[in-house]
């Protein structure tokens, strides 16, 4: 036996070893639910076909974009490094492309275009009104799909619309507006920098002119042509240091201005973002910032103190030392970049400002570099203080000339530096105008992408079959009734016989008139058609009961059921006929004093029966009634009493059964359902054994369990279960059905046709 896990459908309720399900069990479940599966398939597939051929077509146009790295993100200005990588840049651009901002730009442009009337969402509604602007924006966003191509910097933009022209036109407009918005954003960063440098350059040009005029006027007035070599060297070093200080201050002002600009741009995109984003930090970042500021200050002091004195071998040592400082500064900046990327990746990944991650990384970097520049300024101010103390020792005339010369050199160097940076900024601004390039523009698609006839048909068929199978197993799971003998065996019960279900067309004629004018019901198939499969099943029950005599002699057998309409009366009647046909003297008692039916089955009147005898109004000789079956006598119920249980519990009933056991080979009793009333429990104590009739597909397992427990509680001997109304074809399939019905030969066929009402 295979080691399989049993289905929840087949839970075990009683004692006995649980038997696993086999593949054939699942196939039988599917076979029983075949009409549900077929109906589900037809409904779903028909609905799919209807939708496929009635739905409006949807066209899809595709545009391909290339996202190039912008120079402003990789080059430096005033030694200001932009953090970020191409992967983040591509992700940010995708989010920007799908943003509401781009959709609003597209709708505004479409509303002003010549093809406005060709766009579906601009057409008037049924009441003559126009769709609101926000609804048009939602339509554009909902029909747009953006996908990056793996291992490339290329983005595929797809747009779906109801017409071929509309899909291609709007896809191209989205690409153009995105490219234009990208250009505007890129130009804004460097344009602000250029404007700032231009302003500073104008101011510095005026300062340089004034310093040159003052120096010339003083030389002419004091008749001093130049300084001596030592003083000139001191002034040169002082002017270099002051020039570096001036550049550092401009650099600090530039970075602070750019930081405010970036914060303003982020504030415009998301009002809820804190204005001072320098708070976005960690203790580790703060320690890196402090260390970077210290190293920058040390490098500045070292350069200003020794640069003019190094020569020969000392120069090589000086350059090596500077290289070490530069390596440390680069390593710290790399660590800051790595930490900034972590903050962006983990802190902003679910934030709605994902499109601004590049700006946030720049702000984090600026927050780290501004303290370093401030430290550089402080170091240079210390160096200048030292040089100024030496300068104060010069004679007054020479001191004034040195100051004027120093001022002119500082202004001249700063002016040259600003001029160089201005040219660099202009080049960057020109190169950074646009880093989104449209590779392939969208063209009008020929065929619609929706509905996809082939795919819809396949999905409809699969969904229909899947739904039908799912419903079948769900119904099987919810169905707590017993359907086949295996269900009872898994519950630890002994199945004595399986009575097949009589075909529906054989029940159309319910009765048959005999030659002598008596009437019997067609349910007595054992008598009417003794070679039928149903009759053979009752003979099997008779044989199995004979084997049950091994433990104890069976003279009195009670037949009952868990609930009403489960076929107990039909079972006991046919069992009685089968035993009589075997030559046994059989007494059949209708002990169901509430809803008796055996008198109708045998075409008799119920009066003058069991209740009359127990009440003392009928003699024993008048109690027994002959039937149309040889060796079979019947005791009808008699007049229905108000107290059936009390009558059945009397000693007179016990004495009657003992007398019948002496005169007959077997006594069979029909009784009410065991769960409904106590009649069956009373009679079961007087009988040698009890048969429990279960109707396939109707009797629930809980009812069987309760009936068994009730009989066990009064020490009644349960002989076994009779599974009635078993649908052979429905459970086991057509092969078993053919075997079951054709095995008995053509004679049973002919009799089956003759008594089609069975």
3-state secondary structure 405-455: HHHHHHHHHHHHHHHHHHHHHHHHHHHCCCCEEEEECCCCCCCCCECCHHH
Average pLDDT for 370-391: 73
Name the strands in the sheet holding 625-626, side by side, starting at the edge strand that comes first in the sequence: 495-500, 718-726, 689-695, 556-561, 666-670, 586-590, 632-635, 625-626
246-262 pLDDT, tens digit each? 777 777 777 777 777 77
Q: Is the pLDDT of residue 213 over 90?
A: no
Share of the chain above pLDDT 90, in %: 24
Which residues 6+ apart lie within 8 Å of 203 measured at CB? Answer: none
| CB-CB contact of 562 with 694 (8 Å) | yes
Q: Is the pLDDT of residue 589 over 80?
A: yes
pLDDT of residue 144: 94
Please give the CATH architecture assigned to the domain spanning 485-752: 3-Layer(aba) Sandwich (3.40)
Question: Of 674, 669, 671, 675, which is closest to residue 687 (Cα–Cα)?
Answer: 669
Specify the range with the lowest mean pLDDT, choosing from 46-60, 101-115, 123-137: 123-137
Higher pLDDT, 346 or 530: 530
What is the four-CA torsion angle of 182, 184, 190, 192, rounded to 10 degrees? -150
∠ CA 298-301-306, nearest 5°, is: 125
Spatial separation of the C-alpha atoms in residues 84 and 344, rounded to whole Å:
10
Residue 312 is encoded by which pair of tokens?
A: 């020969």
State the helix-helix crossing angle for 453-478 and 34-54, rounded to 10 degrees. Answer: 150
Tabulate helix, strand, coil % of the chain (nearest 5).
Answer: 60, 10, 30
270-323 pLDDT, tens digit each? 544 443 444 455 666 777 777 777 777 677 666 665 555 555 556 666 677 777
Q: Is the pLDDT of residue 504 over 80?
A: no
> What is the C-alpha end-to-end distance of the chain, expressed in Å?
40
Which residues 6+ apart lie within 8 Å of 635 measured at CB? Answer: 587, 588, 589, 590, 609, 610, 613, 623, 624, 625
Question: Of 154, 193, 158, 153, which is closest to residue 172 (Cα–Cα)?
Answer: 158
Spatial separation of the C-alpha atoms in residues 101 and 353, rounded to whole Å:
13
Tell me which long-range contacts 263-269 makes (C-beta under 8 A, separation of at least 24): 263/363, 265/188, 265/356, 265/359, 266/353, 266/356, 266/359, 266/360, 266/363, 269/353, 269/355, 269/356
Which residues 6+ apart lie within 8 Å of 130 measured at CB? Answer: 122, 124
Pick the most confident of 115-129, 369-383, 499-513: 115-129
| CB-CB contact of 65 with 154 (8 Å) | yes
Looking only at the bridges linking them, the beta strands covering 59-67 and 436-440 are antiparallel
Helices and strands: H and E segment counts in the chain = 26, 14
pLDDT of residue 547: 79
Residues in the chain: 758
pLDDT of residue 571: 92
Spatial separation of the C-alpha atoms in residues 62 and 84, rounded to whole Å:
29
Spatial separation of the C-alpha atoms in residues 547 and 213, rounded to whole Å:
137
Q: Is the pLDDT of residue 733 over 90?
A: no
Please give the C-alpha separations between residue 638 and each of 174, 590, 607, 635, 657, in angstroms, as whole numbers: 93, 9, 4, 8, 17
Q: Is the pLDDT of residue 446 over 70?
A: yes
All structural domains of the chain with their residue ranges: 22-55+451-478, 191-433, 485-752
Q: Is the pLDDT of residue 195 over 60?
A: yes
56-103 pLDDT, tens digit each? 899 999 999 998 765 443 344 444 444 345 556 788 888 889 999 999
Three-state SS across 522-564? CCCHHHHCCCCHHHHHHHHHHHHHHHHHHCCCCCEEEEEECCC
β-bridge partners, 536:
none
Average pLDDT, the chain: 77
619-666 pLDDT, tens digit each? 988 899 999 899 999 999 999 988 889 989 999 999 999 999 999 999
β-bridge partners, 155:
65, 148
Query: Does the pTM of the predicted model rise above 0.95?
Result: no
Q: Is the pLDDT of residue 604 over 70?
A: yes
Spatial separation of the C-alpha atoms in residues 18 and 37, rounded to whole Å:
30
Higher pLDDT, 518 or 626: 626
∠ CA 538-543-546, nearest 5°, is: 130
Q: Is the pLDDT of residue 743 over 70?
A: no
| CB-CB contact of 431 with 207 (8 Å) | no
Which residues 6+ apart lie within 8 Å of 729 measured at CB? Answer: 736, 737
Higher pLDDT, 239 or 91: 91
Q: Is the pLDDT of residue 503 over 60?
A: no
β-bridge partners, 481:
700
């Amino acid at each position: 036996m295979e080691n399989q896990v049993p289905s929840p459908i087949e839970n075990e309720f009683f004692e006995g070893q649980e038997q696993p399900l086999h593949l054939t069990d699942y196939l039988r479940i599917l076979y029983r639910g075949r009409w549900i599966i077929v109906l589900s398939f037809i409904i779903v597939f028909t609905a799919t076909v209807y939708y496929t051929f009635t739905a409006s077509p949807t066209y899809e146009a595709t545009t391909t974009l290339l996202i190039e790295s912008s120079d402003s993100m990789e080059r430096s200005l005033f030694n200001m490094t932009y953090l970020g990588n191409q992967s983040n840049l591509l992700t940010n651009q995708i989010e920007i492309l799908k943003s509401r901002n781009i959709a609003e730009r597209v709708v505004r442009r479409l509303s002003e275009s010549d093809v406005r009337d060709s766009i579906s969402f601009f057409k008037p509604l049924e009441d003559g009104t126009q769709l609101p602007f926000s609804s048009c924006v939602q339509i554009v966003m909902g029909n747009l799909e953006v996908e990056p191509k793996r291992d490339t910097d290329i983005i595929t933009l797809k747009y779906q619309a109801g017409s071929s022209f509309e899909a291609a036109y709007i896809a191209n407009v989205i690409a153009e507006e995105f490219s234009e918005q990208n250009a505007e954003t890129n130009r804004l960063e460097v344009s602000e920098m250029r404007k700032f440098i231009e302003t500073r350059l104008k101011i510095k040009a005026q300062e340089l002119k004034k310093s040159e005029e003052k120096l010339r006027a003083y030389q002419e007035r004091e008749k001093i042509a130049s300084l001596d070599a030592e003083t000139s060297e001191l002034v040169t070093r002082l002017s270099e240091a002051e020039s570096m200080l001036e550049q550092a201050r401009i650099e600090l002002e530039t970075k602070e201005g750019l930081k405010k600009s970036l914060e303003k741009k982020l504030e415009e995109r998301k009002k809820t973002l804190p204005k001072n984003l320098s708070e976005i930090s960690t203790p580790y970042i703060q320690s890196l910032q402090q260390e970077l500021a210290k190293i920058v200050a040390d490098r500045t002091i070292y350069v200003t103190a020794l640069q003019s004195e190094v020569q020969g071998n000392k120069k090589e040592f000086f350059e090596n030392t500077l290289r070490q400082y530069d390596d440390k500064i680069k390593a710290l900046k790399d660590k800051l970049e790595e930490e900034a990327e972590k903050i962006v990746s983990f802190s902003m990944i679910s934030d709605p400002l994902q499109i601004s991650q590049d700006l946030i990384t720049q702000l984090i970097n600026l927050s780290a570099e501004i303290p370093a520049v401030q430290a550089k300024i402080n170091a240079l101010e210390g160096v200048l203080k030292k040089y100024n103390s030496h300068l104060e020792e010069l004679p007054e005339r020479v001191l004034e000339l040195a100051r004027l010369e120093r001022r002119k050199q500082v202004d001249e160097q700063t002016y040259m530096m600003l001029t160089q940076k201005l040219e660099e900024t202009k080049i960057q601004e020109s190169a950074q105008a646009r880093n989104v390039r449209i590779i392939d523009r969208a063209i009008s698609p020929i065929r619609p992408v929706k509905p996809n006839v082939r795919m819809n048909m396949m999905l409809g068929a699969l969904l229909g079959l899947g739904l039908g199978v799912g419903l079948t197993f769900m119904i099987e799971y919810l169905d707590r009734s017993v359907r086949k003998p295996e269900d009872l065996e898994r519950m630890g019960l002994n199945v004595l016989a399986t009575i097949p279900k009589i075909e529906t067309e054989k029940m159309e004629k319910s009765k048959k008139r005999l030659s002598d004018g008596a009437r019997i019901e067609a349910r007595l198939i054992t008598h009417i058609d003794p070679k039928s499969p149903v009759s053979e099943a009752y003979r099997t029950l008779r044989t199995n009961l004979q084997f049950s005599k091994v433990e104890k002699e069976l003279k009195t057998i009670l037949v009952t059921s868990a609930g009403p309409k489960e076929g107990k009366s039909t079972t006991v009647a046919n069992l009685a006929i089968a035993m009589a046909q075997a030559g046994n003297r059989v007494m059949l008692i209708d002990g169901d004093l509430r809803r008796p039916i055996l008198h109708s089955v045998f075409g008799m009147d119920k009066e003058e029966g069991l209740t009359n005898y127990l009440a003392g109004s009928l003699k024993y000789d008048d109690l027994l009634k002959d039937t149309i079956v040889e060796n079979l006598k019947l005791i009808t119920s008699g007049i229905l009493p108000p107290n059936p249980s009390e009558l059945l519990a009397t000693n007179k009933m016990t004495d009657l059964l003992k007398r019948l056991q002496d005169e007959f080979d077997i006594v069979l009793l029909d009784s009410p359902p065991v769960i409904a009333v106590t009649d069956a429990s009373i009679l079961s104590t007087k009988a040698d054994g009890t048969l429990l009739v279960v109707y396939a597909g109707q009797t629930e397992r809980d009812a069987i369990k309760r009936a068994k427990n009730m009989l066990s509680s009064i020490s009644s001997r349960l002989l076994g279960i009779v599974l009635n109304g078993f649908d052979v074809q429905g459970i086991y399939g057509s092969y078993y059905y053919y075997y079951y019905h054709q095995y008995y030969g053509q004679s049973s066929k002919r009799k089956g046709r003759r008594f089609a009402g069975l």
